[in-house]
Structure 1
Amino acid sequence: MQPKFKRTYRFAAKTALFSTLGVTLIMGVFLYYFFEVNWLLLALLAITMYIVSFVLIQLRIERLIYKRVKKIYDDLTLLESTSLSKSAITTDMGTLTQEIDRFARDKKLEIETLKVREQYRKEFIGNVSHELKTPLFTVQGYILTLLDGAMNDEKIREKYLKRASKGVERLSYIVKDLDMITKLEVGDLSLKMEVFDIVELVKNVFEMFEMRASKNKITLTFDMDYSNPIYVKADKERIQQVLANLIVNSLKYGNLKGTTEVSIENLIKNKVIVRITDNGVGIEKAHLPRLFERFYRVDQSGARSEGGSGLGLSIVKHIIEAHDEKIYVESQFGVGSEFSFTLEKAE
């Protein structure tokens, strides 16, 4: 569909007026000195000349300038049909310049965004490949060793099969977590909103990791005695997953005989904020902006020795954002970390 021109006649009208005034003045002076001035004839001549000049100038503008301006708009429309083709074309140079400047700024921003996304895509593919490659090669190595004759030894067979099983389990974690993140991003994972006691849920998560905390000699505790329930409205299963991931992280990077403390505070009238604080190794400031990226690890060797998919914090962020809530992190290297997120209070 051809775009509609928004024609302007100001240039032709002004040019025709100036031309008419100039010629009429010259004709008036000429007639005054050499002939008798016929003012009526002179007025008719001026009016006729103005109309003829206006029509000729406007036609020439439309033939010359309008076509060139249209060509510029057509070129831009091919690149950005959604923004330029919806508006009428104008020959006003100021408006056209603003349109082109805006288009250039938008394109520059789009190119920069694409560069960032391309870099992120490369890192993501590299991370996925590395994360999958490690357990795959581990499983393959144990199986090949068994096939080469080691399975005849009962002790080695059992040990290698257990190690291969752990590798497969890690692969399963990665695939399952990636599937969950994808569903959260596209909105396919529906939330089952319900009212529940967040204090009771935290206690359940403490019980889940009681043995692991005891092994690391880390104390799981509340900041105070919550004798009364605190009811929130959210997806209970997903919030339990959030709490589990954050507490597991605090256990992974906590110091021996350290503490992981949970506090639940009123934020505003209809919001509470849940804080998970530890006195572990902490996180350097440079890592904080990328902490919730997929597969991003602060300590490569330490994180892998503890296992997991490397997607825990990314899942946490997506779950909280799916609830239209916020998640925060504060950390000081060598002192400890605090992760906190908001939830809607139940009426």
Structure 2
Amino acid sequence: MSIKFRLRVSYMAMLILPIILSLMVVPIIASFYVKNIDKAYDIKYDGHPLQSTMFKGNPFKDLINKNSLILMGIEKSIEINPDILENTNYLSNLDNKLKLTHSGIVVRKNGNIAYSSDFISKTAIKESLPKFGYNYENEMTHNLMLNNLMFSKQHDFYFKDKSAGSIFIITDAGAMITIAKSFLFVYIIVVILIMMLINGILTYWVSKRIVTPLIALKNASTKIKEGNLDFEVKSSANDEIGELYKEFEDMRCRLKESVVLQLQYEDNRKELISNISHDLKTPVTAIKGYVEGIKDGVADTPEKMEKYINTIHKKTRDIDKMIDELFLFSKLDLNKLTFGFEEVDVKSYLSDIIDELKFDLEESNSEIFLIGEVEDKTAIVADREKLRRVIINIVQNSVKYMDKENGKIQIILKELGGSVQFEIKDNGRGISKAALPFIFDRFYRADPSRNSRTGGNGLGLAIAKSIIEGHDGQIWAQSTVGLGTSIFFIIKKYSIERSKLI
């Protein structure tokens, strides 16, 4: 259930549930106050045969019905003696009987008030009484009149002298109104309490599914701020909070990976510094030794002097090459190296590089060949100088780990749709399966020994990988221990569409 839907449900429930519960408590509260009215007006079953069917639990109706029973007795007395309503003793007895229901009587003769109970003002009520012969069929009461007086019943008759007469039963509704006001006040309080209860329950229900997860996320963010990433944030909710938890957990995992990677980079840089320090110290120490030999006069013949000078020159070239490689790597690492792409004829380009490498390979007793399984004039989109660096690094790596007396290095070209595949294959010692996945990693060296022949800082293949990826290509390796290694990489062919990007 989404938070949006949950909020809609809670809003609807806040409107509907209080109404339903308020309607449900009405009869419960009303029954209590009805009993109070019945008690106040002495409305109860006292054995009269009509009461069992007349009293239904409605205090207003029950009051009128009880007064009707009294009026029925009066009517019978009037039939026997119409002038009985002029008998003061009879009227006093009626008053005493009606007082139990907070009621009284009014006797009217020829439009004038002949008698009224003590609590009824003759002057005030005279104009409010219905006229003689008033038809109030289907009306249970006439109306609430002055000073909380309620007209209940009317009976018209003629005195013996033919004068028009009426008798009214009037009820003091003050107690009933007071009880009704108390009922209304209590009912309003109960409704407010119901609304507060429903609102509190629904607010807790909604907030529990929102606030509690947010507090958990806040605690998790505090842990991250303190540098603790070794925990897991989980949520089974299938809503916006659940999605937020997934995004937060993904962020935590990425942060942890970046921290681990950063620590790995830091370790690699420390190792690089250590390796470079070692690699630089070796030629620098040699140069220092040969220079001191010249100064001390050890090189006392032209042949020795030439040997010392050549050795110093070679060592300085090694240092210069090492510095160039570090400078190139730093630019690749910071993505600050720009590429100058152009159209390159593959076969012609590789032929020039092979001619350049043959002289250096003669010293290591190795040969290099080009096997071009591509059509003539096949062109690729490449940066000439940086692609040259890739090929030279791979070839030099092959020479470095060559363990055969007659080393052979082949550069094999194949067309793959819109790309050209380069394979640089040697017959050297090969690379173990355990080491093969890591040979393109920065600072990794398959041979941990640091002798003069296989030493290095482990940047050659890492640089090659960065350059190939800068060409939007791919690079990988295959190797068999004892038989040799093949380094593959793919470069896209030159086309009119790609020429627009150069």
TM-score range, shorter-chain basis? Answer: 0.7 to 0.9
Q: Is the contact between residue 413 and residue 421 of structure 2 (CA under 8 Å) also seen in structure 1? A: yes
Match of 1:324 in 2: 472
Candidates 415, 418, 422, aligned match of 1:266: 415
Look up the SS of the partner of 2:259 in the other structure. helix
Query: What secondary structure does 1:107 align onto?
Result: helix
> Could you tell me which of 219, 239, 245 is aligned with 2:393?
245
1:257 corresponds to 2:256? no
Secondary structure at the aligned position of 1:222 is classed as: strand
- Worse-superposed segment, 171-180 or 61-70: 61-70
1:48-59 aligned at under 5 Å gives the runs: none
CA contact (8 A) 1:139 1:163 kept: no
Q: Which amino acid aligns with 1:214?
A: E
Greater shift, 147-156 or 332-341, is seen at 147-156
User: Is structure 2 residue 27 aligned with structure 1 residue 28?
Assistant: yes
Q: Which runs of 5+ in 1 are unaligned?
A: 81-91
| Higher-RCO chain (CA-CA 8 Å, sequence separation at least 6) | 1
In structure 1, how many angstroms separate the alpha carbons of the residues matched to 2:243 and 2:341?
A: 48
Map 1:180-259 onto structure 2 (within 5 A): 180-223=328-371, 228-254=376-402, 255-259=404-408
CA deviations over 1:168-218 (Å, ceiling 9, x no partner): 433322221122122223332221111121111111121112133334443
Instruction: Tell me which moved more, 133-142 or 194-203.
Output: 133-142
Q: Give how far 1:330 is off.
A: 0.9
**One-letter identity of the residue aligned with 2:332:** L
Alpha-carbon distance in 1 for matches of 2:213, 2:430: 60
TM-superposition CA deviations, 1:271-320 (whole Å, max 9, x none): 11111112221111111221112332212447742566542211111111
> In 2, Cα distance between the equivalents of 1:297 and 1:64?
56
SS in 1 for 2:477: strand
Distance, in Å, in 2 between the alignment partners of 1:178 and 1:330 is 27
Number of aligned positions between the proteins: 328
User: TM-score, normalised to structure 2's length?
Assistant: 0.54
CA RMSD in angstroms, aligned pairs only? 4.1
CA 1:226–1:115 in 2, change beyond 3 Å: closer, same or farther? closer
> Residue 299 of structure 2: which of 154, 157, 176 is its match?
154
Greater Cα shift, 109-118 or 22-31: 22-31
Letter in 1 for 2:297: N
- For each residue in 1:30-65, what CA deviation from the matched residue of structure 2 results, as whole angstroms up to 9, or x when unmatched? 646884579xx99x9697776555566678889999
Q: Which residue matches 2:98?
A: none
Residue 240 to residue 59, structure 1, CA distance change in 2 (3 Å):
closer
Give 1:128 deviation, angstroms.
2.6
Query: Secondary structure of the equivalent of 2:344?
Result: strand
Instruction: Give 1:83's aligned residue.
Output: none
C-alpha distance in 2, partners of 1:312/1:208?
A: 19
Percent of aligned positions that are identical: 21
User: Take 1:223 and 1:24, find their aligned partners in 2: how far apart are those partners?
Assistant: 95
Q: Which residue of 2 aligns with 1:281?
A: 429
- The equivalent residue for 1:84 is none
* Contact 2:17-2:198 at 8 Å conserved across structures: no
SS state at 1:305 partner: coil
3-state SS of 2:472 partner: coil
Does residue 122 (structure 1) correspond to residue 285 (structure 2)? The answer is no
CA–CA separation in structure 2 for the residues paired with 1:222 and 1:145: 40
Secondary structure, in 3 states, of the residue corresponding to 1:154?
Answer: coil
SS at 1:256 equivalent:
coil
Mapped to 1, the partners of 2:310 and 2:7 lie a distance apart of 81
Deviation at 1:102, TM superposition (A): 3.9
Residue range with higher mean Cα deviation, 65-74 or 279-288: 65-74
Distance 1:216 1:65, change over 3 A: closer
**Quick check: which one's helix share is greater?**
1
Unaligned runs of 5+ in 2: 35-56, 60-182, 226-236, 496-502
Question: Which runs of structure 2 are paired with 1:164-175 in the superposition (5 Å)?
Answer: 164-175=312-323
Does the 8 Å CA contact 1:151/1:157 hold for their aligned counterparts? no
- TM-aligned CA distance change 1:225 to 1:293, over 3 Å: closer
Residue 244 of structure 2: aligned partner: 99
C-alpha distance in 1, partners of 2:9/2:309? 87
Give the stretch that moved more between structures: 26-35 or 122-131.
26-35
The equivalences for 1:279-318 within 5 A come to 279-301=427-449, 304-305=452-453, 310-318=458-466
Provide closer, same or farther for how the CA distance between residues 259 and 140 of structure 1 changes in structure 2, counting only shifts above 3 A.
closer
* CA positional deviation for 1:323: 1.0
Letter in 2 for 1:315: I
> Which residue does the alignment assign to 1:87?
none
Assess if the C-alpha contact under 8 Å between 1:16 and 1:53 holds in 2. no
Higher alpha-carbon Rg? 2
Secondary structure, aligned partner of 2:333: helix
For 2:466 and 2:380, the matched residues in 1 are separated by 19
Q: Is the 8 A contact 1:202 1:243 kept in 2?
A: no
C-alpha separation in 2, matches of 1:24 and 1:193: 82
